[in-house]
Structure 1
Amino acid sequence: MNIKSISIISLIVLLGCILGLRFKVKNGATQGSINDVRQLAQTPPMGWNSFDSYGVYLYEEAAFANLEAFAKKLKPHGYEYFVIDAGWFGEFKLQEGTLYPAEKHASELNIDEYGLLQPSKTYFPNGLRPIIDRCHELGIKFGIHLMRGIPRVAVEKNTKVKGTEYFARDIADTTSICEWNHQNYGVDMSKPGAQEFYNSLINQMAEWGVDFLKYDDLVPFPDEVEAIANAIEQCGRPIVYSLSPGGDVDVNAIKSFKRANMLRVTHDIWDDQVGLNQSFDAWRKWQGKEESGFWIDMDMIPFGKLQLMSPKPEGVVGNETKKDIAKKIESGELSNVELLAGKGWARQSKFTKDQMYTFITLRALSASPLMMGGNLPTLDDFSLELITHKDVLDCNQNGIMGKLIYEDKDVEIWKTPQKGNDGGWIGLFNRSESYKSFSISMSDLNLEEGKNKYHIYDIWNKTEVNKLNFEINQNGVIFLKYSSQ
């Protein structure tokens, strides 16, 4: 075979590779492109999300204030994702003379000629581009929330699916509607044009400069989970893919979930013991399911000031449930009260200090993504200290979900080994409403006595541990770091 023949063969092989790559991009992901996407989020993502503090009503001025605070308070500690949650496309009805919403979810959405969501003129009059550009100027990655499906208004207008001969009504599944937000219909992935719709939406996100997508109402619909993964992988921009909501998540669908980088496995977690208990339950269920590029997500960190767009109305005590409030509205006892997104009214987080220690220790040991939820410009020093604590971040970014190693009389011990050495971290949790005093052995900690001598340090009490006798407040924790001497 002569040199000319070899050159022709090489050219044919090269063209084949190029055509194969184009086929992947056009028709969705293959195993090779999945592996490329999974190179993202090699450690649990860390950032801020607007939902706990602003519900679905974040507005431009507050977004910029939180972004600047993020750059000063969180970025130096490795936090990198600034995420705007739902509602950024809603033309909300407002309470007269204020920016406070007068409806839970916007009845009017801003969409373009292809049914693609656009920034709200009400809350983002200058669009999202200035915020995204400022994120990138500061070395911060920008994230945004999307709901599964296609806007119902797009189906009503029968907008065209960009780049195709199909229309919104050709791909919408009008029987598939989110239980708690009726703005969208699901997309029937068996229909021509369905994948192209998701591609067009994600391509718009990539063009805007989006680095992180939180996709909601998605986990029960594996076909759409995969369709969005395909869309991300063809868009030409690295985008971290986060699945939400949590709650009842089918472990058997984990193959589809692993097309994403994060999987929410809890309901919305708020500043109460119920949320902590749900997190422990999820930890038990999902321990060991994490891997580099795929993290078990237990929702945001509700520290600091919360629900700022929901000031407590006159006549409301503040501790009523939504059902209680709804009954009072129905009876006429309360008027001009709208039950808004989120839980409760504007407040400082109601966690006790012990609950806060427990919360952040759980997040560290479980390698759950760290997404701060409270308002950053007004964040108190104690909350900031916890979410930026070196041992919390070292343990969390170690990227190993700890396992339950001991359980007795409301005391649980969870252990996370450190990669590459004999050290690690241990959490001793008092799951009861009463004070606990107890003693354990090295074997209870799964540390072999006599073989190695261990140095053990009590992180929160800032003391060396010489005897394994502990006292823990109700709903409290002892957070230990161990290393072989």
Structure 2
Amino acid sequence: MQKKLFSALLLWLCCQLAFGQQPEQSMQEKQFKKWAQTPPMGWNSWDCYGPTVEEHEVKANADYMAKYLKPYGWEYVVVDIRWYVANDKAGGYNQTDPIYLMDRYGRYQPAENRFPSAKNGQGFKALAQYIHQKGLKFGIHIMRGIPKEAVAQKTPILGAAGITADQIYSDSLQCEWLKDNYTIVANQAGAQAYYNSIINLYASWRVDFIKVDDLSRPYHADEIALIRKAIDQCGRPMVFSTSPGETPIRAAAHVREHANMWRMVDDVWDTWDHVKHLFDVAQQWYPYIAPGTWPDCDMIPLGRIAIRGERGADRMTRLSPEEQYSLMNLFSIFKSPLMFGGDLPSNDPFTLSLLTNKEVLTMHREGDGVKQLFNQDGKVAITSTNKRNGDTYLAIFNLNDGPDNVAIDVPLDALGLQGKYQATNLWNTQDRFLVQDKIRKRLKPHSSLLVKLQRSN
């Protein structure tokens, strides 16, 4: 009897092997969406320093975040584009004679004249350690693909014996606005190994967040899948952000499966037209707002921007205070990742107040079931609910250019509410008023109202 049982068990095991049972998901893959259960919040160097940020500036912004913003949930410090170029210029990429830093495997390295702690092949290890010691997380920006310089030099691909960079590239679909890299041909032997090699390098630097550019427009599904697989095998939690938009809605299922956040639009700067455009694009993305997968409104162009940036002169944001509230209200109720683009140490008290409102950030973190009630004639209403305590949130916006104030009505039954409710203005909690049947507010052009609704006894 025992021999029969043993034989049956042996036959069952052989069948499993013979018919190729799928291996279980790696622990890394299972955990992928858990790394961003709430929308990531942090600082990115692009809006204020373009492709020229230096180590001391990154540290200064990390110091400010640790002191003033960390208690409110801000945690990521992200070095944006072209940290591997020693001679880049602000106000337009230096594409004629860039000095690239790259190792023998065709992997970019930080420019040591800008990041002194990267000397002796240390990469971003020391900078990441500095940021981690403050209780924060470290991120970097890269372009998709493989460096043109690596292809020209036929550098070997780490982990793919005998395969060199010139065997895995294509010059088709090269980025239109930055020519550092070529496309990686996903089905070529060595393609996955190259992405594994750079992600493993970043993991050794203790990178927590990776923003990968030129993925979304056009949508590069194959390279997105390669990057995600590389993250899964690297052994380190690493939030994956795709950039820039507009990500096509037809790719929604794919991008939410492979990335933690994805851009809905191209770069957002400090003009009302850029802010207004977000309301139109956002309409198709509400159903995809979920833990671990966040449609991204782009960076927040507030505070002091363009110190050495790409759009205009060094300035405080051109958005009016009312427009700044409207931007923050949209980003927060929509649950977009919040990546501040201004130079943090240059913040004035008003800008700091926009980043440290506990009520607004609670809504951003805990709001659920986000939906748009209407978007018509320049009037917009968006709502969500806090399942933990039952609070209902409502944001209303007047997108019109004016000159007149506009009355906006929102029936309570559109929010699933009946009876009397107390409305609290989240930016000024002393501003409270009772509502029954509907909320009616007159708003100035480009202005908004964000309230929390609680049942009144």
Provide TM-score, normalisation by structure 1. Answer: 0.83
Q: How has the CA–CA distance of structure 1 residues 170 and 437 changed in structure 2, closer, same or farther, with 3 Å as cutoff?
A: closer
CA–CA distance in structure 2, aligned partners of residues 118 and 242 of structure 1: 20
Q: How has the CA–CA distance of structure 1 residues 52 and 292 changed in structure 2, closer, same or farther, with 3 Å as cutoff?
A: same
User: Residue 113 of structure 2 aligns with which residue?
Assistant: 122
- Whether the 8 Å contact between 1:92 and 1:122 is mirrored in structure 2 is no
- Whether the 8 Å contact between 2:329 and 2:395 is mirrored in structure 1 is yes
For 1:459, the aligned partner's letter is: L
Q: Which residues of structure 1 form unaligned runs of 5+?
A: 95-99, 311-341
User: Residue 406 of structure 1 aligns with which residue?
Assistant: 374
Q: Which residues of structure 2 form unaligned runs of 5+?
A: 119-123
Q: How has the CA–CA distance of structure 1 residues 436 and 251 changed in structure 2, closer, same or farther, with 3 Å as cutoff?
A: same
Specify which of 353, 363, 383 is matched with residue 415 of structure 1.
383
User: Residue 274 of structure 1 aligns with which residue?
Assistant: 273
For 1:46, the aligned partner's letter is: M
Query: Is residue 2:428 matched to residue 1:458?
Result: no
User: Residue 98 of structure 2 aligns with which residue?
Assistant: 107
Deviation of 1:31 (Å): 8.2
Specify which of 387, 405, 413 is matched with residue 436 of structure 1.
405
Q: How has the CA–CA distance of structure 1 residues 430 and 77 changed in structure 2, closer, same or farther, with 3 Å as cutoff?
A: same
Deviation of 1:309 (Å): 1.3
Query: Is residue 2:247 matched to residue 1:252?
Result: no
Deviation of 1:73 (Å): 1.6
CA–CA distance in structure 2, aligned partners of residues 282 and 80 of structure 1: 27
User: Residue 320 of structure 1 aligns with which residue?
Assistant: none
CA–CA distance in structure 1, aligned partners of residues 410 and 165 of structure 2: 64
For 1:53, the aligned partner's letter is: C
CA–CA distance in structure 2, aligned partners of residues 101 and 111 of structure 1: 24
Q: Secondary structure at the match of 1:201?
A: helix
CA–CA distance in structure 1, aligned partners of residues 142 and 369 of structure 2: 28
Specify which of 51, 62, 66 is matched with residue 61 of structure 2.
66
Q: How big is the alpha-carbon RMSD for the aligned residues of Structure 1 and Structure 2?
A: 2.6
CA–CA distance in structure 1, aligned partners of residues 71 and 444 of structure 2: 32
Specify which of 136, 141, 145 is matched with residue 137 of structure 2.
141
CA–CA distance in structure 2, aligned partners of residues 464 and 90 of structure 1: 53
Query: Is residue 2:166 matched to residue 1:166?
Result: no
CA–CA distance in structure 2, aligned partners of residues 174 and 440 of structure 1: 54
Q: How has the CA–CA distance of structure 1 residues 218 and 121 changed in structure 2, closer, same or farther, with 3 Å as cutoff?
A: same
CA–CA distance in structure 2, aligned partners of residues 210 and 407 of structure 1: 40
- Whether the 8 Å contact between 2:173 and 2:183 is mirrored in structure 1 is yes
Q: How has the CA–CA distance of structure 1 residues 399 and 180 changed in structure 2, closer, same or farther, with 3 Å as cutoff?
A: farther
Deviation of 1:421 (Å): 4.5
Q: Secondary structure at the match of 1:391?
A: helix
Deviation of 1:449 (Å): 3.0
Query: Is residue 2:350 matched to residue 1:382?
Result: yes
Specify which of 164, 167, 172 is matched with residue 175 of structure 1.
172
User: Residue 470 of structure 1 aligns with which residue?
Assistant: 441
CA–CA distance in structure 2, aligned partners of residues 449 and 255 of structure 1: 36
CA–CA distance in structure 1, aligned partners of residues 29 and 155 of structure 2: 31
- Whether the 8 Å contact between 2:360 and 2:426 is mirrored in structure 1 is no
- Whether the 8 Å contact between 1:308 and 1:345 is mirrored in structure 2 is yes
CA–CA distance in structure 1, aligned partners of residues 128 and 28 of structure 2: 26
User: Residue 52 of structure 2 aligns with which residue?
Assistant: 57
Alignment coverage as a number of residue pairs:
433
Deviation of 1:103 (Å): 4.8
User: Residue 327 of structure 2 aligns with which residue?
Assistant: 359
- Whether the 8 Å contact between 2:91 and 2:311 is mirrored in structure 1 is no
Greater mean alpha carbon deviation, residues 117-126 or residues 215-224 = 117-126
- Whether the 8 Å contact between 1:367 and 1:397 is mirrored in structure 2 is yes
Q: How has the CA–CA distance of structure 1 residues 406 and 163 changed in structure 2, closer, same or farther, with 3 Å as cutoff?
A: closer
For 1:375, the aligned partner's letter is: D
CA–CA distance in structure 2, aligned partners of residues 429 and 416 of structure 1: 15
Q: How has the CA–CA distance of structure 1 residues 471 and 364 changed in structure 2, closer, same or farther, with 3 Å as cutoff?
A: same
For 1:224, the aligned partner's letter is: E
CA–CA distance in structure 2, aligned partners of residues 90 and 393 of structure 1: 36
Deviation of 1:440 (Å): 2.7
- Whether the 8 Å contact between 1:358 and 1:476 is mirrored in structure 2 is yes
For 1:385, the aligned partner's letter is: S
CA–CA distance in structure 1, aligned partners of residues 442 and 69 of structure 2: 32
Deviation of 1:133 (Å): 0.7
- Whether the 8 Å contact between 1:367 and 1:401 is mirrored in structure 2 is no
Deviation of 1:423 (Å): 1.9
Superposed CA offset, 1:88-130 (max 9, x none): 1002156xxxxx6885457221110000010112311221222
User: Residue 131 of structure 1 aligns with which residue?
Assistant: 127
Deviation of 1:420 (Å): 3.8
Query: Is residue 2:418 matched to residue 1:449?
Result: yes
Superposed CA offset, 1:405-451 (max 9, x none): 1345422111112224532210110011123242635346524333x
User: Residue 394 of structure 2 aligns with which residue?
Assistant: 426
CA–CA distance in structure 1, aligned partners of residues 40 and 352 of structure 2: 18
Q: Secondary structure at the match of 2:331?
A: helix
For 1:113, the aligned partner's letter is: R
- Whether the 8 Å contact between 2:331 and 2:338 is mirrored in structure 1 is yes
> What is the percent sequence identity of the aligned residues?
33
For 1:448, the aligned partner's letter is: L
User: Residue 304 of structure 2 aligns with which residue?
Assistant: 305
Q: How has the CA–CA distance of structure 1 residues 102 and 423 changed in structure 2, closer, same or farther, with 3 Å as cutoff?
A: closer
Deviation of 1:456 (Å): 1.3
Deviation of 1:140 (Å): 0.6
